[in-house]
């Protein structure tokens, strides 16, 4: 085992609420950091303490606006120029991950663009959780520690004591994710097959599998407007399910998402805190924190230990 350098954890302005919790679980205060803005909005970050020779962890989710990505890139550059030994970007929610391929002519692969920007800025390592597609890890030419939401969600689902538990995916693209949950919980799964007219607008949906009398938990990586998850829940209940809940790692919750969830047939929605959510969540939404999971990952990287020990293994 090599020598262990001093760890310093800093937070970008978009993720300070989560970074404070991560640092507390890790047992360290957040490092001194200031973000100044010119009158036109131009960003100027600076570290308020020495980081020479340190292993620096920079926490910032990259949800809109794009200032979040720009701030993170400038933080990385500032850290490298201040002679940090190793710079790890901790991105709980990796924005632009939905644009991970050319699904029609003349479109950008935005996830690859963001990966290139992180590489160019000097990032040595990335920690994230539940990328929209796991193969996005291949866009990076440095190590990616891809944590799994199952670590947080599976124990919680078990604690509900649902006797007729059934896992469901709201679309075919999420089948592998749902199958992973079903495997850990040792239950069956069903699929919802949806067809979109355009982004955020569903044309049709059908359920593949039997949900009669089941307590269904819909599994997704993110919820944007809530349209897909609410439609899936409605169809599952129409097919005879006893109850339907949902979970997602990244609560984007744009537009009328909160109203859509509250008015839906969902009995509960479980989300994490990778993205900040409003304080008045209503009666259906429960937040589970990923702070301890990220703190443990940082500790294992510091100690040159395996990250895979954080994953839930099949019983």
Residues labelled catalytic: 194
Q: What is the CA radius of gyration of the chain?
A: 20
Beta carbons of 240 and 266 less than 8 angstroms apart: no
Rounded to the nearest 10 degrees, the angle between the axes of helix 175-185 and helix 150-160 is 50
**3-state SS, residue 30:** coil
Rounded to the nearest 10 degrees, the angle between the axes of helix 67-81 and helix 110-121 is 20
Among all chains, which residue has been given the structure tokens 């201040």? 82
C-alpha distances out from residue 300 to 26, 292, 307, 309, 310, Å: 11, 12, 6, 9, 9
Q: Is the peptide bond before 252 cis (omega within 30 degrees of 0)?
A: no
Beta carbons of 127 and 89 less than 8 angstroms apart: yes
C-alpha distances out from residue 3 to 6, 74, 135, 142, 302, Å: 10, 28, 32, 21, 10
Beta carbons of 235 and 207 less than 8 angstroms apart: yes
Burial 60-87, CB ≥16 within 10 A → b, else e: bbbbeeebbbbbbbbbbbbbbebebebb
> What's the first-to-final CA gap in the chain, in angstroms?
31
**3-state SS, residue 105:** coil
Beta carbons of 87 and 124 less than 8 angstroms apart: yes
């Amino acid at each position: 085992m090599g020598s262990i350098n001093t760890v310093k954890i800093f937070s970008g302005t978009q993720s300070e609420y989560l970074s404070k919790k991560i640092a507390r679980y890790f047992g360290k205060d957040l490092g001194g950091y200031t973000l100044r803005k010119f009158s036109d909005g131009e960003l100027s970050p600076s570290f308020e303490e020495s980081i020479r020779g340190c292993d620096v962890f920079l926490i910032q989710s990259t949800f809109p606006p794009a200032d979040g990505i720009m701030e993170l890139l400038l933080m990385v550059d500032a850290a490298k120029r201040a002679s940090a030994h190793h710079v790890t970007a901790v991105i709980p929610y990796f924005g632009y991950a939905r644009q991970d391929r050319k699904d029609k002519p003349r479109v950008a692969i935005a996830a690859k663009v963001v990966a290139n920007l992180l590489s160019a800025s000097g990032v040595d390592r990335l920690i994230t959780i539940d990328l929209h597609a796991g193969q996005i890890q291949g866009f990076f030419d440095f190590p990616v520690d891809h944590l799994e939401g199952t670590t947080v969600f599976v124990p919680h689902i078990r604690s509900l004591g649902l006797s007729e538990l059934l896992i469901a995916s709201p679309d075919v693209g999420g089948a592998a994710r749902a199958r992973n949950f079903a495997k850990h919980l040792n239950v069956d799964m069903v699929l919802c097959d949806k067809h979109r007219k355009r982004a955020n607008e569903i044309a049709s949906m059908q359920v593949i599998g039997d949900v009669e009398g089941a307590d269904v938990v819909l599994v997704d990586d993110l919820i944007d407007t809530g349209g897909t998850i609410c439609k899936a829940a409605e169809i599952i209940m129409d097919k005879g399910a006893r109850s339907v809940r949902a979970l997602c790692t990244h609560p984007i919750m744009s537009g009328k998402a909160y109203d859509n969830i509250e008015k839906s047939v969902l009995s509960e929605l479980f989300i994490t805190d990778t993205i900040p959510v409003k304080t008045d969540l209503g009666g259906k939404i429960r937040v589970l924190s990923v702070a301890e999971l990220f703190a443990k990952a940082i500790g294992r990287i510091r100690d040159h230990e395996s990250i895979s020990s954080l994953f839930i293994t099949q019983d």
